[in-house]
A and B are shown apart, each in its own frame.
Chain A
Amino acid sequence: MKEKGWLKSYGPIILTGIVVGIAALVLTAAGNPKNMGFCIACFERDIAGALGLHSAGKVQYMRPEIIGIVLGSTVAALAAKEFRARAGSSPAIRFVLGLFVMIGALVFLGCPLRMVIRLGGGDLTAVVGLLGFLVGILVGVVFLKKGFSLGRAYPVRKSEGFMLPGVMVVLLVLLVAAPQLLKSSEEGPGSMRAFWVISLVAGLIVGLLAQRSRLCMAGGLRDAFMLRDFTLLSGFLAIWITITIGNLILGKYNLGMLSQPIAHTQHLWSFLGMALAGWGSILLGGCPLRQLILAGEGNGDSAVTVLGMVVGAAIAHNFGMAGNPDSVVDGVYKVGGTSTVGMAAVILGFVVLAVISVTHLPGKENA
């Protein structure tokens, strides 16, 4: 009976993790950038580029994975009668939080999901990001324990809940029927992509399973720290193990710090970037992947958060904040990383998050 109980508790989330891991390996094999089968931050950045919100020519493409994740969540929620249109929980603040979570992630060069994927490829620079993410989560948990709240959401008209899924459908139609209207990289990470049907199906499957299992890196760490509950975290362990095994089998595992695909060794800012992303994710109630899932379920506040992340990506590239990968120039190893503007943006992010955190504690209702 104990085994049945364990299976019922952990089975769905571990299965989701295994499927996400396999999907990431398949997408990379099919053309996505190395160690980037999925990256919510990078792919939302690519979508921002496709729409012309930024002009970084190497990172522009309408990523079907993001579209699939949102729509997969919508389908799963509707099928389970769990689609609930709701909104009203500090949407403007969530927009800004999403913006800074994205900046932090792009300084590191990956969302929490890509961080795990990089770890599965042997990229030890992601360990530094993980440590930063953990610290950011812990800071967020301190404020949760003090009673931090952005307020509850309220039921709204169904049309509100269907807005972001509807936008995703329009973006998909544009990609398939009128790609000439979108910007599309011809070199660099934006040009590396699987055939759109593969990407869309992978996204749909991940979105569906993530909605059913509530997969969330930030939530998993929060539950581990606050409740000693490792259920959600087990999903990410499953992703890491699956990708590690897959990369070993495929001969793509490269353990080390140097010359990792789309990664840099500016460790301090990897740490700080992911600390910003972790703290922001706790305040938002979920990591970037979880925000897409919630938006697919009809959560209007998460839809606004997603828009904030897209705008954050545009700002990051328009102002040169995003990290640059390490490179070899004329035989000399050149450390990449973020610019002075990027560093300032991360520090500003910490200040903004601190203000938001403090002004949303009990007794600060008039702040």
Chain B
Amino acid sequence: MRSKEPRLVISFHTTAEAMATERLCRQNGLEGKLISVPRSITSDCGLAWSAPAALRETLEALLNQHAVEAAGYHELLL
């Protein structure tokens, strides 16, 4: 059984921004995956990006560089 580990979860205002994040991360070889945005973050039912917590600064810079707007950066045990 996989134990929970700290993960960075990036939430977005639109699904398109989540999809764009996936594309950018794949292009740059950054680990992560799309998930359903956790209920603890929001009552919205969109997509979020889950990545290792250590990638936070890298991902913030990458998304800013490509004008992808995140709704929030959250560190959760997933």
Contact = CB atoms under 8 A, between A and B. Distances in A.
A344 B42 CA distance: 40
A251 interface: no
Interface residues of A, number: 32
A94 interface: no
A216 B45 contact: yes
A326 interface: no
A149 interface: yes
Contacts, number: 55
A193 B69 CA distance: 47
Interface in B33-78: 34-36, 39, 42-47, 69
Interface string A1-14: 11001000000100
Interface size range of chain B in the complex: 20 to 34
A227 B15 CA distance: 13
Given A2-B1, A227-B34, A152 B45 contact: no
A211 B43 contact: yes
Given A227-B35, A229-B36, A214 B45 contact: yes
13 contacts: A1-B1, A148-B15, A151-B14, A153-B13, A214-B43, A214-B44, A214-B45, A219-B45, A223-B36, A226-B34, A229-B35, A231-B36, A362-B16
9 A-B pairs with least C-beta separation: A149-B16, A152-B13, A82-B43, A219-B45, A214-B45, A149-B14, A147-B16, A229-B36, A223-B36
Given A1-B1, A216-B45, A226-B34, 9 more contacts: A77-B43, A82-B42, A144-B15, A145-B19, A153-B13, A226-B47, A227-B34, A227-B35, A227-B36
Interface of A: 1-2, 5, 12, 77, 80, 82, 144-145, 147-153, 211, 213-214, 216, 219, 223, 226-227, 229, 231-232, 285-286, 290, 297, 362
Interface of B: 1, 4, 13-17, 19-20, 34-36, 39, 42-47, 69
